[in-house]
Chain A
Amino acid sequence: MADVTFSNVQKHFGAFRAVQDLNLDIREGEFVSLLGPSGCGKTTTLRMLAGLEFPTSGEIRIGDRVVNDVAPGKRDIAMVFQSYALYPHMTVGENIAYPLKKRGVEKAERARMLKDTADMLQLTPLLRRKPRELSGGQQQRVALGRALVRDPKVFLLDEPLSNLDAKLRGHMRAELIELHRRLGRTMVYVTHDQLEAMTMSDRIAVMEGGKLQQFAPPQEVYREPSNRFVAGFIGTPGMTIIDGALSGSPGAWRFDAPGISVEARHLGPDAAEGAASMGVRPEALTIGTGDTPATLRLVEQTGHENIVVVSIGDIRMTGRTTPDKVWSPGEEVMISIDPDMPHFFADGPNGKRLNAKPSPRGNEPSHSLSNLSEVSP
């Protein structure tokens, strides 16, 4: 049974279509991230689920119940806001117990639930303080506490970590994963930070322009991006996408772009001759050996590896090398692209993936994911 379901949901603000034809089945107990750039509709989607926005059309269900006309307070959800939205005049304890009070939970029971939640989040010594006396991380924890205290069916989290510094963000990420594992509740998490989405989620819903682009586990989103947008959005450094053309016939495809000509393997039945694009992740590019001449443009030393940008004519590609290689910008190098690793997409900014399933061998994401940086695209 799907715990949260969006069926053909649309949300228009005047002429602006914030969310279009959204269909999403979130399973009970699943941690799902809504990921995408600003204005992609992810926050609107979450707010519709919370009852703070009303869908223009379509149906939203939580469990078996259609909640389109159910008030936010009656949906059995809890939400953590980006700004935390703690009540400034109430103490930490009053903030956490507020949803219980409004639901008429009896005083002794309220105190017991408050104590349990405070113990779990290590907030007990802070219960009498006001939110303004707390650090960002502590406020974040209080906001979580207010959401956790009444054990709702679904947790909604709207970029809850974006106001924290990088170190604390890493720490809270681990705590949230641990919390989800312990509670086993459905969590819907909005973020524009792919690192958060990749590390925490059971599945990621990548959105762009109000449309769902892909809904799949993190590994699959990385290895088999459903279209050109997802391919370019996920991964740091990003995938190099080269515009060119496919030629040949099934089983013997070639991809050509100015200065590049490669055999296109593992294409599926949708492949056709004509304009197309090829996506190359940094790990598919070998720098220093190969048969294609290129010019080295930029070397970024991160300590454990070098990020290297090379160019072939107007095409710039990003690759990685071990840190012991010494390069200097302007140097002529030979490169090669692992023919089993490129992704191919149909023409257009959201061109569909043309590779055959299952995915080509070798895109070992474990290595690549661990190297995603904090910087969001």
Chain B
Amino acid sequence: MATRPKTLLERHYALLGLALIAPTVLVFCAVIVYPLISAIYLSLFSIFTPTLEGEWVGLANYRELLTSGDFWSALRVNLIWTIGTLTLQIVAGVGMALILHQNIWFRSLARSLILFPYFVSTVVAVLVWKWLFNDLYGILNHLMMTAGIIDWPIDYLGMMPNALISVILVGAWKYFPFVVIAVLARLQTIPDALYEAARIDGAGPVARFFDVTLPQLRDVLVVIIMLRAIWDFKEFDLIFLLTGGGPVNSTETLPLLVYKEAFALNQMGMASAYAVVMMLIMLVFMILYVRRTRSVDGA
């Protein structure tokens, strides 16, 4: 099939289009593509961080990583953390969104307050929680002892499994407002007529939740779960500040391990290898997310 030669105006528009997207493409290359490629490149070297000097080792870093216990233990902790905190975020987020969707008298105030944990800086949040958790003067231990629930103060962050449970709970507290916002936005678009039709059809409150609300939330929940899974999987500051990976390495997730390798053990090459493996794991979620959002758009 012969193609028609482009007119002058069409060529002008094509050039204009290129000119308009060029800045974005350049910035994208500088901040995403270049670091990505250099991380993969660095992972093939043994590098001493302070001098950034090193020698080519090929895939030796990867071989060492996959045979070391550190990687598998960090991956296990990472998965427990991600699944645990994500589950709590979804359950608490959907529950709170359903409550805030009702006609309660303090609704606007509550909707603003609920965002507080999400907006507060992680450093501040961690300081507050460390204070609450403190085994000597923390209010949690004080209240529980006063109420007679416990006889001795609990060490929330210095013992297992307490430390991991505490981290998971603080993570859920910090990030569930994101789920609330997204679910609430979707809830508000569900037509009232659907609930009214269901009431006339004889559906009670529980049946209405499972037959009307939940199917309508399905698409948004899939997207939230994908996004939060990616974000929780690579969470660093909250865990690092709360426990630093301890006690010993029992709350050490992969991002913490990357940090340790790069800046504590000064092994930049090894750290890059960990980072690349992490990226490959997250790639699975990313592909699922992209495919999902594409099919939602197409529907």
Which positions in A face B, CB cutoff 8 Å? 50-52, 71-74, 77-79, 81-83, 85, 87-89, 98-99, 102-103, 146
Contact = CB atoms under 8 A, between A and B. Distances in A.
Contacts of A146: 197, 201
24 contacts: A51-B199, A52-B200, A71-B199, A73-B202, A73-B204, A79-B196, A79-B197, A81-B193, A81-B197, A83-B191, A85-B196, A87-B198, A87-B211, A87-B212, A88-B215, A88-B216, A89-B218, A98-B198, A98-B201, A98-B211, A99-B201, A102-B202, A102-B203, A146-B201
B201 A81 contact: no
A146 B202 CA distance: 12
Given A87-B211, A89-B215, A81 B196 contact: yes
Nearest to B211: A87
Contacts, number: 59
Q: Give me the 9 closest cross-chain CB pairs, A-B, nearest first.
A: A73-B202, A85-B193, A102-B202, A99-B201, A85-B197, A89-B215, A72-B199, A72-B200, A81-B193
A157 B217 CA distance: 29
Contacts of B57: none
B37 interface: no
B193 A102 contact: no
A103 B204 CA distance: 11
Contacts of B290: none
Contacts of A72: 196, 199-200
B197 A102 contact: no
Contacts of A73: 199-204
B191 to A, nearest CB: 6
Contacts of A82: 193
B185 interface: no
Contacts of A103: 202
B200 A78 contact: yes
Nearest to A147: B200
B194 interface: yes
Interface residues of B, number: 18
A71 B218 CA distance: 28
A31 B21 CA distance: 63
A79 B212 contact: no
Contacts of A50: 196, 200
Contact of B202 (A52, A81, A83, A99): A99
- Name the prevailing secondary structure of the B interface residues: helix
Interface string B126-165: 0000000000000000000000000000000000000000
Interface of B: 191, 193-194, 196-204, 207, 211-212, 215-216, 218
B199 A85 contact: no
Given A74-B202, A98-B203, 10 more contacts: A50-B200, A51-B199, A51-B200, A72-B199, A85-B197, A87-B197, A88-B215, A99-B201, A102-B203, A146-B197
A79 B198 CA distance: 10
Nearest to B214: A89
Contacts of A79: 196-197, 200
A18 to B, nearest CB: 17
Contacts of B207: 102
A98 B198 CA distance: 9
Nearest to A102: B202
Contacts of B199: 51-52, 71-73
A77 B215 contact: no
A79 B202 CA distance: 12
Contacts of A87: 194, 197-198, 211-212, 215
